[in-house]
Structure 1
Amino acid sequence: MHYHLRHLNHRWNHKKVYRIYTSMGLNLKRKCKKRLPARVMEPLLQPIHPNITWSMDFMHDVLSTGINFRSLNIIDDYNRECLGITIDTTLNSKLVIRQLDQLVGWRGLPQKIRVDNGPEFVAQALASWADDRGVELKFIEKGKPFQNGYMERFNRSFREEVLDAYCFTRIKEAQAMAHAWMWIYNNQRPHQSLNYKPPVTFLEQHQKQSNFPTFIADENCNWEKLVNASTV
């Protein structure tokens, strides 16, 4: 700016130009993009047991009233079971942690959680939550959603069969439909990757063979409780 004014034949020195520049509030900091650490690509393998790897991701949609909302989807990579769908207008890292705590209360802790590089997932609050519980956050490479393929396949089904199939006027309507669809998805809908069995049926057969703790749905079919098979 000082040299530009000199070319316009103004002979003010650089100190005066800078003093006026700052008094007008023009000395703003440049916005720099947050640099993410290098992500390592890992093969997308099906775990051999439940609670080894979970995947979670966000989806976006809009109500008929024009209000935007988001959904937080969480699945278990082992049997593609949907563990939870949370819908709200705002979902930050604190709400993500609260949802994870609810799932851990009946499902147990996973060893890993696969996520993308969204601001809610790279937040320090989620990193501290994972470190305190010994959970490893596995970040996919930027711009490569296929590295979270199980989650992307679930999102496509949820998009086609719920978000694009219905017109919602309220958040509660979308949440109720999501819970109803989640129960059908887990308990009735056959999956080709699971030898055409629903996720819950596939998990129950595995539990009988390996004597693994059993997950039983409660009366409302919205959440599930963890029951140790050895104590039944």
Structure 2
Amino acid sequence: MPGHTVHSQSHLGGLPMNLFITIWIWIRRLIVACLTSLRGSIGRRQNQNSFLRLCRRQPATPHRWFHAQPKPKWVQHEIIRLKALMPQAGCRTVAHHFNRRWKSRKQMTVSKTYVADTCRKHQYRILEARRKLKHKNPRPIPRNRVWGCDLLIKTDQHGQPHLALAILDHASRACLRLQRLSDKSSWTLLHELVQAVKRYGRPQFIRTDNEAVLVSRVFRFGLWLLGIRQQRIAPGCPWQNGRVERFIGTVKRELARESVAGEREMTRTLWEIRTWYNHDRPHDHLQGRTPVEVWAGIDVFAAKPG
């Protein structure tokens, strides 16, 4: 009609266009979802059927485990030897010592599991190796050729630590120096070493561990001036300086029985232990003789003439 604006709206079967589009979108989504679900179920069923056919055609093969190559025989012998030398050490410690020694030399390493299995299987061999090491007579060497040097610490009744130096002759097992030190310096150690050289002569070698004061430039320069060659043991291998280590163990055992109250008592106790060790204590590896008798070349068991 004239004077009025007529808004036309499209109809499809009596339904507005917007409502028809919305219904069509939902129907389309429902169809897509049904087709996707049907395709997934068909795929899973095909996979199951193919797996069943594969199982029927091919019999199941047993699983193959990877077996590492066996270690050489010398590795087993070295583990047994290290365990015999360090009976209180754990498997991890033994493995660390083995790897530090043989990784660069022969490119060979072991794990703590291998060490544990070896020690468990060869307990009797370890005990036998310990027995042989304990009763093995060392190779005879000339007197005053090699000296062993090491430090020990003793705490007195007041909790004050006292440092002492021990010097031992390898051939006679004689304690050449067992002296309390005022401080832990290279100059103090060189002074005590010079006193021992003045009294007993100059050795060809002196064997020490890798403590900082024993490998310092001052200490090594002093040894060069004295004409003494230094033998440094491998890190973590105290048995390479076993004579002085065994002597320090004896000294510590005797010091544990004494009550040390100060510096004077410490010096006096060390002097008494050194006198007892050199003159009164027979040594098994010296065939029952004392270190002083071996140093002087006296054989008390030899038949006397007449």
Residue of structure 1 aligned with 2:284, choices 192, 196, 199: 192
Give the conservation status (yes or no) of the 8 Å contact 1:87–1:175: yes
Q: Deviations over 1:97-156 (max 9, x none)?
A: 000111111111100000000111001111111112221000001111011110111011
Q: Would you say 1:64 and 2:131 are equivalent positions?
A: no
Q: Which residue, out of 103, 113, 133, partners 2:196?
A: 103
Cα distance in 1 for residues equivalent to 2:231 and 2:155: 29
Between the aligned partners of 1:68 and 1:139, the Cα distance in structure 2 is 26
Which secondary structure state, in structure 2, belongs to the residue aligned with residue 158 of structure 1? helix
Gaps of 5+ in 1: 1-37, 39-43, 208-232
Rounded to whole Å, the distance in 1 between the matches of 2:139 and 2:149 is 15
Distance across 1 between alignment mates of 2:139 and 2:171: 6
- Aligned twin of 1:146: 239
Structure 1 range deviating more: 198-207 or 180-189: 198-207
Aligned partner of residue 202 in structure 1, secondary structure: helix
User: Structure 1 residue 183: deviation in Å?
Assistant: 0.9
* 1:30-79 deviation line (CA, Å, top 9, x unaligned): xxxxxxxx9xxxxx965522110000101112111111111111100011
Q: Percent identity?
A: 27
Scaled by the length of structure 1, the TM-score of the pair is 0.67
- CA distance in structure 1 between the partners assigned to 2:149 and 2:140 by the alignment: 16
Q: Distance in 1 between matches of 2:151 and 2:170?
A: 16
Unmatched 5+ residue regions in structure 2? 1-100, 102-136, 300-306
In structure 2, the residue matched to 1:164 is 256
Separation of aligned partners in 2, 1:184 and 1:174: 15
- Would the alpha carbon gap of residues 99 and 89 (structure 1) be closer, same or farther in structure 2, given more than 3 Å must change? closer
Higher relative contact order (CA 8 A, sep 6+): 1
Q: For 2:176, what is the secondary structure of its paired residue?
A: strand
Q: 2:230 aligns with which of 113, 137, 145?
A: 137
Residue 203 (str. 1) matches residue 292 (str. 2): no
Gap change, CA 1:121 and 1:45, over 3 Å in 2: farther
Contact kept? 2:181, 2:188, Cα under 8 Å: no
Q: Kindly name which structure, 1 or 2, has the bigger radius of gyration based on alpha carbons.
A: 2
Question: Does the residue aligned with 1:59 lie in a helix, a strand or coil?
Answer: strand
Bigger helix share? 2
Give the number of equivalent residue pairs.
164
